[in-house]
Amino acid sequence: MTGPMISDTAFYAVAIPAVLLLGVSKSGFGAGFGSLAVPIMALVVSVPQAAAILMPVLLLMDLLGMAAFRKDFDRQLLQFIVPFGMLGIVVGAVLFKALDAHTVAATVGFFTLLFLAQRLLFPPRIDS
């Protein structure tokens, strides 16, 4: 399965920093700034396209993280988090199909600003 190769240099000028920001954030150093990856990508492609491009990257990062910590996990936390994660995936998929691109973009922008406000108003505590 091959598709057309993206040849727009503006796409790569935006996509590479967005993916790097996402990777740094997922590793724990970016303090949640990975949530800016989709809005940054949306500067050059639509929000659904940006999400579709970044989802495989996120999946790969999560798989590598799970492999690294496969012996260190909290079963009780997983039992709590997995059903809600699955519910979020289903709701997101339904809304992604039902809503137009502008509404999806507004929703992503709203939640990005909400997460930013949360980060600024309630900074994470670092337990030493």
Render pLDDT for 12-67 as a digit per residue (tens, 0 to 9): 999 898 888 888 887 776 666 777 888 888 888 888 888 888 888 887 887 787 78
pLDDT of 115 above 70: yes
Residue 42 DSSP code: T
The encoded tokens of residue 92 equal 């997101």
Q: How far apart are CA 103 and CA 94, in angstroms?
A: 13
Q: What is the mean pLDDT of residues 92-121?
A: 85
pLDDT in tens, 57-104: 887 887 787 788 888 878 888 888 889 988 988 888 888 889 888 888
Token reading at 12: 């790569």
Is the model's pTM score more than 0.85?
no
Query: Residue-wise over 72-87: b if at least 16 C-beta within 10 A, else e?
Result: eeeeeeeeeeeeeeee
Q: Over 60: is that where the pLDDT of 9 sits? A: yes
What is the H or E stretch that residue 37 is in? helix 37-41
- Answer with the residue of higher pLDDT: 72 or 127: 72
Residue 102: CA count within 13 A, CB half-sphere: 0
Question: For residues 12 and 126, which has the higher predicted lDDT (pLDDT)?
Answer: 12
**Whole-number pLDDT of residue 3:** 66
Q: With contact defined as beta carbons under 8 Å apart, do 40 and 47 qualify?
A: no
CB 34, CB 25: distance < 8 Å:
yes
